[in-house]
Amino acid sequence: MDNNSKELFKLIDDGNTIVHSDPRKAYEITKEALKLAEAFNNKSAMGYCFINFALIYRSLSNLANWVEYGHHALDIFMELNEEEGIVVALNLLSCAYFHVGLYEDSLINCLRVLDLCIDD
């Protein structure tokens, strides 16, 4: 991993660390990280930025954006075949669906996560 990628993922991690304590600041950090990820064409980093946005919106109880960014992340990680990211995105979506009583959709995503984890 080159220095740009290390710095980028540190920025993403910094945003992730404060998602619950200061979601607005986490949003600004993640927004900056997404711009860098796009500039470097680092799709994995973009996916983790979308994970951060989903977590931010979860902490703000904004279900629509929580699900939207969860799906953006999932799409990227599926394209990259990046299992860890897929698991995180599916878990976030499962929590969102459970939160609004869509238990069958939640269970489907949980089972997909379980299947990915057992295969490893």
What is the spatial distance between Cα 40 and Cα 26, in angstroms, rounded to a whole number?
21
Q: What pLDDT score does 86 carry?
A: 96
Which of 108, 58, 39, 54 is closest to 85 using CA atoms? 54
Domain that holds residue 63: 3-119
Residue-wise pLDDT for 74-120, tens only, equals 999 999 999 999 999 999 999 999 999 999 999 998 899 888 889 65
Average pLDDT over residues 41-50: 97
- The CATH number assigned to the domain holding 100 equals 1.25.40.10
The pTM of this model reads 0.91
Asked if the model's pLDDT at residue 38 lies above 70, the reply is: yes
Q: How many domains does the chain have?
A: 1
What is the spatial distance between Cα 54 and Cα 69, in angstroms, rounded to a whole number?
5
Average pLDDT over residues 31-47: 97
Q: How confident is the model at residue 1 (pLDDT cuts 50, 70, 90)?
A: low
**Angle ∠(93,100,73) on CA atoms, nearest 5:** 15
